[in-house]
Structure 1
Amino acid sequence: MNKQAFHNDDAILDVYEKPGLGQGVLLSLQHMFAMFGSTVLVPILVGINPSIALLSSGVGTLVHMLLTHFKIPAYLGSSFAFVATMQALMRMDGYPAIAQGAVAAGLVYVVVALIIGKIGSGWVNKVLPPIVVGPIIIVIGLSLATTAANDAMMKSAKYNLTYFGVAIFTLVMTLFFQMYFKGFTSLVSIMLGIVCGYILSCFVGIVDFSGVQKAAWFSLPALELPGISYKLKFYPAAILTMAPIAFVTMTEHMGHIMVLNSLTKRNFFKNPGLHRTMMGDGLSTIIAGFIGGPPTTSYGENIGVLAMTKVHSVWVLAGAAVFAIIFSFIGKIAALIESIPMPVIGGISFLLFGTIASNGLKILVDDKIDFGEKRNMLIASVILVVGIGGAYLQLGSFQLTSVALSTIMGMLLNWILPKKAASERALEEKKHEKQEGKIYQ
């Protein structure tokens, strides 16, 4: 990891900078706490062992870093885009079908990465200018707002003030550590907020310790290995239903890279290249499929931590991946983290997801996007409402999520709409005629 010539002065720790051992451990744990809930929730929803998801996320993140030459501070966790399909496959054929589908989805990434490697990624800036990128990043953050709110209220059918109170307390404590402390305490404000929320949760009795009591101190993840754990069999339906979803997660992948570009003031599409980031994502998903985990994707939760702390070090993210691998073998610790109540995660998510959305606004401001122009207003309006509203396109078992749909619609509008509306062109012509008339007079 050679130090780059460019240094982002807005970052407390830039991409290549290494924290001290003690600070690095706490900063890495903070990232692990941020991704843990979602990473283990996906396998729980599907019926896969959560410890395998932890292992595959840690291994996948390190593989992604290797392929991108340790230039991108991204964390890869379990993907929610495949949940509905995986649940259906689990009911019909069990995990072997999911494994083949995951490998197929990963191979789609690999093929696309090879194509981009040949044709280059210069087209990205043309199809994704700031007027498209800014609203998409806002959508990525705000489309998760409902998730944060549901977590804060523990997805309870009946409103419970205790749950929401814990969420708000967690949020307030995080803001308190962020704003009223400086130095390292401010950097680990998210982790401190989670700890404070967890302690309050214990006092109000919403923490379930039964999983911790049952868990063993040391246990091997229940790996699902082809040809060993199950007999090899061809599942064409699994491949045909899961492989196309990769095209959906690719748009979200590019959205996350755009956020990271904005945060780190770099262009990861050019260096290390979009083909490398795609290849890293694809190989991570293939590895997950082979060992028994769900497909992986880059995580907005960890991008939110990067945005809040301004610590962009790849060393910190690599440390989080190592901790995820270690904790997949230590049942007690994994179970303890898994016992963190949803309201605590929801309280933190209010801030993390909002921070992502705010970075979208920052792009629009920094690039001086003029919303007096109809074109800009129309593109942003469609992206925001389609994306945040949760509209999606369903074709059989294939679903285009709201984030992916709004991204595609934004790119199409940017391509189709003229630079100026007819009324704006007519007004400019009148102004030009008046100016010419004055000159001739």
Structure 2
Amino acid sequence: MEEKQNNAIYDLHERPPFFSLVGLSLQHLFSMFGATILVPLLVGLNPGVALFSSGVGTLIHLLTTRGKVPAYMGSSFAFIIPMASMMKTTGYPAVGQGVVAVGAVYLIIALIVAKVGSAWIDKIFPPAVVGPVILVIGLSLAATAAQSATQLNGKYDIKVFLVAGATLLVTIICNMYLGGFLGLIPVLLGIAFGYLLAMAMGLVDLSPVASAHWLAWPKFDFLFSGGHGTSLTFYPVAVLTMAPLVLVTLSEHLGHLLVLSKITGQDFFQDPGLNKTLAGDGAASVVAGLIGGPAVTSYGENIGVMQLSRVYSVWVIGGAAVLAAGFAFIGKLSALIGTVPGAVTGGVGMMLYGVIAAAGLQVIVDNHVDYGQKRNLMIAGPVMVVGIGNYSLSLGSQVTFSGVAIATVLGIVLNLVLPEKAKSDR
């Protein structure tokens, strides 16, 4: 196979053979499934609708970016608290309006970026900021992966530890020692092995699969019906509570775009442009809000899969989206994927999140960022501690800015205000 500049097995617009395409797409589906359905379960929305929204939202993003950005859109965790609160008090109409408002804010920001351009990106995101921010995006999830890989129902369990360790080990072995198609799906093989081992150890509950129907129409809650047939009421509090949280997901959007640009060797800020990627996120959330799903955002798990497999094809991402939307109507398949235990997802998570962090280190090394300079140290130090330690900011009971969001903003601000050299260096 021809060697490419970014060492891709399948580059952005290359389409793998059909059966390879299905296998590679399934790998992405399994990687994002747990997190995507966890959000609606925590909030009180329908998991099938969230899965459908995820698939359709990804296809919308691909269309909006003209098939140039391999980003998978899954349920966003940033809005869990306000959505759960509104579901308990006012029900879906309020949540739906909030999700649509989130998408609308994205679209407005996209219009502004289209007018002013994106030349400012290089100024606020030099390698001294990009490297630590990407590293933080990966390592901020380390605690989640470690918890899933060691605990069952909040308590340490040696069986969970063993399954997670075996899943990680098989993923590494498959990635390093297998060639051909099998070498492209180490995550899927690791998940399959971990699942069988977890089943043998009694960590898998198959009762949801037995009780699920083969065909199951997701319980769409169309916003303009007013929710369950009631008259539509406007909820300003939903808009005012959820719209400001776009600042959180916007920083995640920029971070994920930086990672994707790095691993694929493409500058997505220039082509198709930040305005297109923001518009894709916004349109996907608007559609999700209209049909009963949570807000969506790009997923780090899928970026990790691409980094690990070196398959960047938008056809694979589109295939995963089609499978997700289709599986939303096949109850037993959705239920089966939903039985994958945390021990397995935690095991592969230790790999996926780590390779994202490694991409940040690669930015630092490739650009020869000199940490002998105090300026670079003063940027990287606080950014990494704030992000990895999740130094979050809560404004009231419903608005929380994650450590990653604060770390990203902190890196930008420090880069803009700090002098090129400290006085003690002169």
Normalised to the residue count of structure 1, the TM-score between the two structures is 0.94
1:403 aligns with 2:404: yes
CA contact (8 A) 1:141 1:355 kept: yes
The Cα shift of 1:287 comes to 0.4
Structure 2 distance, partners of 1:125, 1:155, is 44
The Cα shift of 1:91 comes to 1.0
CA contact (8 A) 1:386 1:402 kept: yes
The Cα shift of 1:155 comes to 4.9
Q: Hey, what does 1:334 align to over in structure 2?
A: 334
The Cα shift of 1:161 comes to 0.1
Structure 2 distance, partners of 1:65, 1:128, is 25
Q: Hey, what does 1:87 align to over in structure 2?
A: 84
Structure 1 distance, partners of 2:34, 2:285, is 19
Q: Hey, what does 1:416 align to over in structure 2?
A: 417
Give structure 2 stretches of 5+ with no counterpart: none
Q: Hey, what does 2:282 align to over in structure 1?
A: 282
The Cα shift of 1:184 comes to 1.2
The aligned length equals 420
Structure 2 distance, partners of 1:155, 1:35, is 20
The Cα shift of 1:339 comes to 0.4
CA displacement 1:321-377 (0-9 Å, x = unmatched): 000011000000000000001100000000000000000000000000000000001
Letter in 2 for 1:258: L
1:46 aligns with 2:47: no
Alignment match of 2:192 (pick from 195, 210, 213)? 195
The Cα shift of 1:179 comes to 1.0
3-state SS of 1:419 partner: coil
CA contact (8 A) 1:57 1:76 kept: yes
The Cα shift of 1:311 comes to 0.4
Q: Hey, what does 2:297 align to over in structure 1?
A: 297
The Cα shift of 1:154 comes to 3.8
User: Structure 1 vs Structure 2: percent identity of aligned residues?
Assistant: 50
Q: Hey, what does 1:359 align to over in structure 2?
A: 359
The Cα shift of 1:7 comes to 5.6
Structure 2 distance, partners of 1:157, 1:17, is 44
Q: Hey, what does 1:112 align to over in structure 2?
A: 109
CA contact (8 A) 1:8 1:14 kept: no
CA displacement 1:98-141 (0-9 Å, x = unmatched): 10000001100000000000000000110011100100000000
| Superposed counterparts of 1:4-403, under 5 Å | 8-228=5-225, 229-230=228-229, 231-396=231-396, 397-403=398-404
The Cα shift of 1:423 comes to 1.1
Normalised to the residue count of structure 2, the TM-score between the two structures is 0.97
Letter in 1 for 2:168: L
CA displacement 1:170-210 (0-9 Å, x = unmatched): 11111111111112111111101100000011111110111
CA contact (8 A) 1:8 1:264 kept: no
CA contact (8 A) 1:48 1:293 kept: yes
Letter in 1 for 2:178: F
Structure 2 distance, partners of 1:395, 1:80, is 17
Q: Which has the larger radius of gyration?
A: 1
CA contact (8 A) 2:6 2:263 kept: no
CA contact (8 A) 2:27 2:188 kept: yes
Give structure 1 stretches of 5+ with no counterpart: 1-5, 426-441
Deviates more, 1:201-210 or 1:394-403: 394-403
Letter in 2 for 1:309: S
Structure 1 runs of 4+ with >6 Å offset:
none
Structure 1 distance, partners of 2:155, 2:343, is 14
CA contact (8 A) 2:15 2:313 kept: yes
Structure 2 distance, partners of 1:227, 1:423, is 63
CA contact (8 A) 1:40 1:53 kept: yes
